[in-house]
Structure 1
């Protein structure tokens, strides 16, 4: 086989492996299995529930979620919502009679109840259950309510069993990857700033100046990924075999959020010093190179931290670069203090980033 065909085969295999590893595909497979099993089991349920088998697949569809904890929460809250909706419909039947007005009142009350903080996942079924019992149940509301609730319970139970027995997902790798990519993004951003400071003035390389919002968005995504990893281990039997210290991940995230705050501040201050926007500032030429060296050194320390290695030596290099920068600042005493403020502010941000990085590293290796 030639080089080109072999490369095509390897590429196709990689894409197939990536597709098969997609969590959404696993969720789709488990949902399909749960719905099919629920439909089969629904016909075996005795009593009046046998007349309403189609609600079991619906219950299975509802209960299969990306994590076991979310499945349990959604299943339990859906059943609670159904019970409340059935009670609402029952009150209408007992004290009034179903008509346009009373049905509308029941649905409105159901929507209000659905907004409560303890019905966050399945609250919409309060109004749905009330509406179905009053309209579909009609004269046979008692039997319909029992069948509806029983078959939904069967489907939810089947969904939970399928979700717990077929590779219950652990999202640990997603959180780890997001943390690594976040550090890489911060490091790359700092390197871009360092390069811009020693370019022709004002530098043409200015993409970094508008990335503050992007850094915040990334921080939000990483926090969501760590929260999902934490959620995925709850009630998950696989968590006992694949352990991960998520407390450390939360600590890393907190450190990165602190670093992001200082990086954004440094970015805004230096952008203003270069392009005099949104406020006029200056950055003396004698300070640009030592400031660039310090920024690059801090970025290198962040990169090394991604390798889960001791960053002590890299931090020492960055601290030495920072010391030289501060000496240069002291030598500029004859310059207007307002012209030194951007460099001084940037130096303070870099010092705080190094302190945060040292603290995070010490905690990780404790």
Structure 2
């Protein structure tokens, strides 16, 4: 059964149970609020049920605290309406109520206009219905534990690695061709990487939340591991650095001025980008740090690239094309940063000075 179907089934069970139970409580002639509160108390995670159900009940309580005194003093009149509406809307804007702020004007207006005489005696059963509904919704959700969300995190993580790798591969192809590809396609690639990073953050938050107060948490290992924080941060940093490299490489190494980079540097830089793309994709798929042997291969490629950029035999060439040295040094620095982002903490071999870099 899919998580959505499970959620619908639990919400239906909670709403029906609250409607039935409220009939046995004294003075509860209108079980509508019990069913509604139970329905709104069932969320994809137990923690969100507790949080959102509490906000709903609190907003309803604030509405009663406003509506009952006004109903006693002014009654269901236009003057009572003129008092309740602006105050309740101001309270509804309170950030702590989040999406349940409108319960304040709803509850206050309902008490003022619908309950008639004896607002206190009529309002208390309504509050009891809401408490019953929220409690039953939370109980049903906890008793029938919602699905864990770890697979979604793994899928989002792998997608971010794949999107970042695609962006780097495209950039390498443009560098080799000394030409820019479709600008709309390029923009979509960069935007997809940014969206992928946001999706990972959201999926990880939901996965962590789904484990709290969830009886299925002890079975979490069967859902697949969550990526460790260092790996997550490494992939985030690599994704952002890939966007920077792409922007700078396209400005310096492709387009209307193919002389910006030397042919030798262009070929080595494209090779390094392709290798870095493979490492990013590998990190995303495995949700683990890049293996040491793969990093050593990237180090070798970087040293070759760096040697190409600082070759003393190219002094005359740099004099003829003075902006070339700066462009190549800039791309070396950006590639080095991406390589460092993918390296595990404390990887001494990856220190810039060990790679022959002094900037």
TM range (shorter): 0.7 to 0.9
| 1:325 pairs with 2:305 | yes
1:123 maps to what in 2?
A: 101
1:156 maps to what in 2?
A: 134
Assess, with a 3 A threshold, how the Cα gap between structure 1 residues 185 and 216 changes in structure 2: closer, same or farther: same
2:292 maps to what in 1?
A: 312
1:4 maps to what in 2?
A: none
TM-superposed CA distance for 1:286, in Å, is 2.5
| 1:351 pairs with 2:336 | yes
Counterpart of 2:274 (choices 258, 280, 296) is: 296
1:236 maps to what in 2?
A: 214
TM-superposed CA distance for 1:229, in Å, is 1.0
Relative to the length of structure 1, the TM-score reads 0.84
Whether the aligned pair in 2 keeps the contact of 1:170 and 1:232 (CA below 8 Å) is yes
TM-superposed CA distance for 1:88, in Å, is 0.4
TM-superposed CA distance for 1:245, in Å, is 6.7
- Post-superposition CA distance 1:269-323 (Å, at most 9, x none): 122222369xx99233231100011111111222332234752111111111111
2:56 maps to what in 1?
A: 78
DSSP-derived class of the 2:117 partner: helix
Counterpart of 1:254 (choices 233, 236, 239) is: 233
Q: Give the alignment of 1:1-366 within 5 angstroms.
A: 20-21=1-2, 23-45=3-25, 47-49=26-28, 51-199=29-177, 201-204=178-181, 207-208=185-186, 211-242=189-220, 248-273=227-252, 274-275=254-255, 282-305=260-283, 306-307=285-286, 308=288, 311-331=291-311, 332-333=314-315, 334-335=317-318, 336-359=321-344
1:3 maps to what in 2?
A: none
Whether the aligned pair in 1 keeps the contact of 2:289 and 2:343 (CA below 8 Å) is no
2:354 maps to what in 1?
A: none
Relative to the length of structure 2, the TM-score reads 0.86
Across the aligned residues of Structure 1 and Structure 2, the Cα RMSD in angstroms comes to: 2.5
Whether the aligned pair in 2 keeps the contact of 1:55 and 1:155 (CA below 8 Å) is yes
2:352 maps to what in 1?
A: none
- Post-superposition CA distance 1:337-359 (Å, at most 9, x none): 42233332222122111112112
Q: 2: CA distance between counterparts of 1:98 and 1:249?
A: 59
Which one is further off, 94-103 or 104-113? 94-103
Whether the aligned pair in 2 keeps the contact of 1:35 and 1:58 (CA below 8 Å) is yes
DSSP-derived class of the 2:303 partner: helix
Which one is further off, 341-350 or 177-186? 341-350
Q: 2: CA distance between counterparts of 1:28 and 1:291?
A: 53
2:356 maps to what in 1?
A: none
- Post-superposition CA distance 1:225-245 (Å, at most 9, x none): 111111111222221332577
Assess, with a 3 A threshold, how the Cα gap between structure 1 residues 95 and 39 changes in structure 2: closer, same or farther: closer
TM-superposed CA distance for 1:153, in Å, is 1.4
TM-superposed CA distance for 1:73, in Å, is 0.8
Q: 2: CA distance between counterparts of 1:106 and 1:276?
A: 67
Q: How many residues align?
A: 336
Assess, with a 3 A threshold, how the Cα gap between structure 1 residues 109 and 251 changes in structure 2: closer, same or farther: farther
